[in-house]
Amino acid sequence: MEQLKTLIRGEIGRDIIFLGTVDSTNAFAMELAEKGAVHGTVVIAESQTRGRGRMGRRWVSPPGGNIYMSIILIPPLRVKDATLLTIMAGVACCSALRNTTSLSVKIKWPNDLMVSGKKLGGILTEIKSGVEKIIYAVVGIGININIKMEEFPPDVRATATSVREEIPGEQSRAAVTAAILNELDHWHRILLTKGREPLLDEWRKFSSTLGESVKVIAGKEVFTGIADDIDGEGMLILKLPDGRLKRISTGDLTILR
Ligand code: BTN
């Protein structure tokens, strides 16, 4: 992974901290950010003992060549635009994985990286917010690269996959990681200079969700309908059976077939 540094082209990834085992790279990066780490600082671990997933879930993080990394961003964005960072990370990961592995990776709203209907990776963004503005954000990315399915706990096997499971042979974790960091740098610049539309358009291209009949569990509520679009804040616009449009900020989405 040390060769990674030679592959970095932008601001994101200029400072990389490599760790063996850590509780969670997100927790570690939040502490670093609190101590004043600069925009673009990256934390990468070989394994995590308390990997965090969305909605308080765990992220199974055994050693053996997967990506567990967190990126500190200090974007000039409002708190209500925080979801855009997850959208941005989804686009960066999808693009990087497509270019380095040739797998046809898609994004299931809000942030699941999918291949052949199985989950290859996920993104968890955590922020520290001021009254209106984001003070810093930590974008956590977990991607299954070289893990074999038998190394996953049984309950995860049916729904998860890894690059190795999809394409035979050892995969270059450094190449994928560098591509993600370079794509993130690119899309962060686009977001700041050209606004959110180019990013949202790219996300729409990679989406496995739009146009599909879906079920979304959002807290205690369950909605079914057609996933119509995402809005400027990354919320899902669901067309309900009676034709009304419902905006959902976060939830668990299943594509109904
Ligand atoms: C999800 O639930 O889909 C999001 C999973 C995010 C996992 C990554 S692994 C690196 C970073 N550190 C964490 O503790 N979680 C994220």
Out of 57, 59, 125, give the residue to mutate to test ligand 1, the one with the largest number of ligand atoms within 8 Å of its CB.
59
- Once rounded to an integer, what is the mean pLDDT over residues 202-215? 96
CB 182 within 8 A of CB 91: no
- Once rounded to an integer, what is the mean pLDDT over residues 101-113? 94
Distance, CA of 172 to CA of 83 (rounded, Å): 29
Q: Does pLDDT of 1 surpass 80?
A: no
**Does residue 25's CB lie within 6 angstroms of at least one atom of ligand 1?**
yes
Closest CA to ligand 1's atom 2 = 53
**Does residue 54's CB lie within 6 angstroms of at least one atom of ligand 1?**
yes
Distance, CA of 106 to CA of 113 (rounded, Å): 6
Q: Does pLDDT of 237 surpass 90?
A: yes
Question: pTM for the full model?
Answer: 0.96
Q: What is the mean pLDDT of the chain?
A: 95
Confidence of residue 212 (pLDDT cuts 50, 70, 90): very high
Q: Does pLDDT of 61 surpass 90?
A: yes
Report the range of poorest mean pLDDT among 124-128, 170-174, 181-185: 170-174
Q: What is the 3-state secondary structure of the chain?
A: CHHHHHHCCCCCCCCEEEEEEECCHHHHHHHHHHCCCCCCCEEEEEEECCCECHHHCECCCCCCCCEEEEEEECCCCEHHHCHHHHHHHHHHHHHHHHHHHCCCCEEECCCEEEECCEEEEEEEEEEEECCCEEEEEEEEEEECCCCCHHHCCHHHHCCECCHHHHCCCCCCHHHHHHHHHHHHHHHHHHHHHHCCHHHHHHHHHHECCCCCEEEEEECCEEEEEEEEEECCCCCEEEECCCCCEEEECCCEEEECC
Position 152 scores a pLDDT of: 86
Distance, CA of 109 to CA of 216 (rounded, Å): 10
- Once rounded to an integer, what is the mean pLDDT over residues 66-71? 98
Position 236 scores a pLDDT of: 95
- Once rounded to an integer, what is the mean pLDDT over residues 9-22? 96
Q: Does pLDDT of 210 surpass 80?
A: yes
- Once rounded to an integer, what is the mean pLDDT over residues 101-111? 94
Confidence of residue 169 (pLDDT cuts 50, 70, 90): confident
- Once rounded to an integer, what is the mean pLDDT over residues 176-202? 96
- Once rounded to an integer, what is the mean pLDDT over residues 204-225? 96
Residue 112's alpha-carbon distances to 94, 167, 191, 209, in angstroms, are 10, 19, 21, 11
Out of 25, 124, 139, 145, give the residue to mutate to test ligand 1, the one with the largest number of ligand atoms within 8 Å of its CB.
124
Q: Which residue has the higher pLDDT, 55 or 91?
A: 91
- Once rounded to an integer, what is the mean pLDDT over residues 4-10? 94
**Does residue 86's CB lie within 6 angstroms of at least one atom of ligand 1?**
no
Position 257 scores a pLDDT of: 78
